[in-house]
Amino acid sequence: MDLSIVVPIYNEEKLLRNSIEQIYNFLKEAKKIDSYEVICIDDGSTDTTRQILETLKIQYPDIIINQKRPNHGKGYSVKEGIQMSTKNYVVFFDADLSTPLYEINNFIDEMNNTQPDIIIGSRNNEKSKTKRSFKRTLISKTFAILKKLICNIYYQDTQCGFKFFKTNTAKDIFEKITINGFTFDVEMLVIAKNKDYSIKEKPIEWVEAKTTSLNIFRQVFKMLNDLFYIRKNIKKGLYN
């Protein structure tokens, strides 16, 4: 399989070098991947993330880094990375590697066996193996209820940061993405549903990273507002 790997990054100086090294070590041994590209999208980091990426570019000359720009949000970064991707398939996941890299092999098998357009990782499936705080579990379950009520989206886990696409599908969907923040996942699935793309939910292993820069509570009200924004767009038929 030919695979583009998109890694959205914001203020991850504490873990970035180790994560990129793990990605390349995995790719060296990945027998199911024929060719690959690693696309790192720096979302206007204010720490030393950018300098670390430039240093890593020397160690890994084929790594692809976006042009320096201001912070816009995770959704914007993922969209930028997908637009830059050139392989037949594309996966994106968080820089903290909360999902083990071997899950890429499992998703490749799923894609080859069932041929969906999109595979989304699920931490809420009974077969999932997850370790996360009570705070994060509570927020996740609350958001799952709200997205069903507000946007009529019934997938178990829309916010898992591990998703796998046929690249043409991803590019088609992300052309219509308007949300730059974390709720872009919900908007993405609404668009995919309206375009009749096949979506497979797959249980994954996931461990909450203690070093991540994400402040969950800071995002809660913004995400709730985004859900009502998506519902308004649904009613207007903007995702058709």
Per the DSSP assignment, residues forming a β-bridge with 218 are: none
Burial class (CB in 10 A: 0-12, 13-18, 19+), 145: exposed
Q: Is the dihedral angle over the CA atoms 159, 161, 165, 170 positive or is it negative? A: positive
Question: Predicted confidence band at 176 (pLDDT cuts at 50, 70, 90)?
Answer: very high
Q: Is the pLDDT of residue 91 over 90?
A: yes
Bigger pLDDT: 212 vs 183? 183
Domain that holds residue 189: 2-236
Per the DSSP assignment, residues forming a β-bridge with 199 are: 118
Bigger pLDDT: 144 vs 92? 92
Mean pLDDT of 198-223: 76
CA distance 224 to 203: 25
Per the DSSP assignment, residues forming a β-bridge with 130 are: 206
Type of residue at 199: I
Question: Predicted confidence band at 94 (pLDDT cuts at 50, 70, 90)?
Answer: very high
CATH number for the domain that contains residue 107 = 3.90.550.10
Backbone angles phi, psi at 164, to 5 degrees: -130, 135
Burial class (CB in 10 A: 0-12, 13-18, 19+), 4: buried
CA dist 85 to 8, 140, 173, Å? 13, 30, 14
CA dist 116 to 51, 90, 121, 163, Å? 38, 13, 13, 12
Mean pLDDT of 123-130: 78
CA distance 113 to 52: 38
Are 20 and 63 within 8 A, CB to CB?
Answer: yes
Quick check: pTM over 0.95? no
User: How much is the pLDDT for 142?
Assistant: 83
Q: Is the pLDDT of residue 131 over 80?
A: no
Percent of the chain having pLDDT more than 70? Answer: 95
- Specify the number of domains making up the chain: 1
Question: Predicted confidence band at 135 (pLDDT cuts at 50, 70, 90)?
Answer: confident
Question: Predicted confidence band at 157 (pLDDT cuts at 50, 70, 90)?
Answer: confident
Are 200 and 125 within 8 A, CB to CB?
Answer: no
